[in-house]
Structure 1
Amino acid sequence: MSRSILQYGPSTANELAKRLNLTPAAIRRHLTVLIDLGHLTSREQRVYGHRGRGRPARVFALTDAGRAEFFQAYDELAIHALSYLQQVAGEEAVQEFARQVVAGVEHRFDAIRGEYSSRTEALVEALTAKGFVASLQPVASGVQLCQYHCPVAHVAAEFPELCEAETRAFSQMLDSHVQRLATIAHGDGVCTTHVPKPVHPPTQSTDEGKAVR
């Protein structure tokens, strides 16, 4: 349930029930537990324009404590390990480690590529399966690949090689030049990568190549 709210934002009980295919009673039990743990908070849903009878529905959102549950418990240990690796084996060893971290997404992408109509859709599924909670947002110049969670955000803040390796892997998997616009590791709310529309070569004119007289 918390992951659904992380991915889709503050949600009502009805929205959660539909997404998770649970009964209202089950949803209420889960919500009560998460609120008691301090992982969720609730407020009245904002209604714009004319409001019907009755009180507005309540929406449930993650607290800072709820978000913290999604971060790895061993971030500090990982940072110390990478620092040691950098000292004894050099920067190239850290870069190779970063490539190995991304390899899990690449393997998943390769396994499911044929099941999707586009490379970007396959990459979204591969990222989400690995805990990155991804989606696509269309823009005029292409699409933005959004990652709402980063399991290695705290480590990547100390070792940007992880983000750099991920960006290179995206470019290879999508066979496209991509541009990283924002990262959770650097304090942004969402990791955002711009994937431009494919550039098709212009159709050659039938008169092209004829000598000018």
Structure 2
Amino acid sequence: MTSVQQPSTSTKDDILMYLLRQGEATAHDLAEHFEVSAQAIRRHLKDLEAEALIEHRTVQEGMGRPNHLYQISAKGRDRYPAKYDEFALSLLDTMAATMGQDQVGTMLRKQWERKALEYRDRIGTGSLGERVARLVQIRQAEGYMSEWHEVSDGDVRQTGPGYIITEYNCAISHIAESFPSVCGHELEMFQVALTDCTVQRTHWLVRGEHRCGYLVQGLD
């Protein structure tokens, strides 16, 4: 008698991590990826959906049965960012009420300029690839699920060495919801921190995408 492989106790967390990285997946995709039975995966999906950590949309492909595409919910994303931003958000709200929104915006810009210079000092010198790797390590330590990879030939029109920085969560998501300008400052911050390169935004959580992405390219 063939036994059915049982999922590990961490499978739910693994599913959330997979959906955080991939955006969407079917139960079949997940079963294949984790090499467990579809029945076991569906039990976990049912539990995760009951906890409001994931949600699904139904798509019809051809004449067969509709398919469920699962994605992580806002509540599920909140499991990953650090919670230290809650006090900061309360403080910013108080400052906006007393000082005015414009002055708070100016203060946030100055904060990001200061952060950019701090990053640049901590990153130090070296090739662009080495500096990108060190920046990602710093971001990971700050609570971002951040990673990087080198751009392959043909992926983009390259003027020099190219790298993609991807962040699957936002450690200051609650602040960004109330003060969206902080997201715009992040792009400027990376540009100042890395120097001698261009930085372009490729994906943005604020626009409903499942990750933030930045293309970093060296200059000729």
Task: Give the structure-2-normalised TM-score.
Answer: 0.54
Contact 1:182 / 1:188 at 8 angstroms: preserved in 2?
Answer: no
- The CA distance in 2 between the partners of 1:166 and 1:35, in whole Å, is 32
Post-superposition offset of 1:122:
5.1
Higher relative contact order (CA 8 A, sep 6+): 2
Report the secondary structure of 1:171's partner residue: helix
The gaps in structure 2 that reach 5 residues or longer are: 1-14
**Structure 2 counterparts to residues 121-200 of structure 1, below 5 A:** 121=133, 123-124=135-136, 126-127=138-139, 130-134=143-147, 138-141=155-158, 142-159=162-179, 162-175=182-195, 176-180=197-201, 183-185=204-206, 187-189=207-209, 190-196=211-217, 198-200=218-220
Q: Amino acid of the residue matched to residue 10 of structure 1?
A: E
User: How far does residue 4 in structure 1 lie from its aligned partner after superposition?
Assistant: 1.8
The structure having more radius of gyration, on CA atoms, is 1
CA 1:133 to 1:84, structure 2 compared with 1: closer, same or farther past 3 Å?
A: same
Q: Percent identity?
A: 24
CA drift of 1:177 comes to: 2.8
User: 1:81 aligns to what?
Assistant: 91
* Number of residue pairs the alignment of both structures matches: 188
Closer, same or farther: CA 118–44 of 1 in aligned 2, 3 Å: farther
SS in 2 for 1:11: coil
Report the TM-score, using the length of structure 1 for normalisation: 0.55
Q: In the TM superposition, what is the alpha-carbon distance from 1:34 to its structure 2 partner?
A: 0.3
Instruction: Give yes or no for contact 1:133–1:148 (8 Å, CA) kept in 2.
Output: yes
Q: Which runs of 5+ in 1 are unaligned?
A: 201-213
Gap change, CA 1:45 and 1:121, over 3 Å in 2: farther
CA distance in 2, matches of 1:3, 1:154: 20
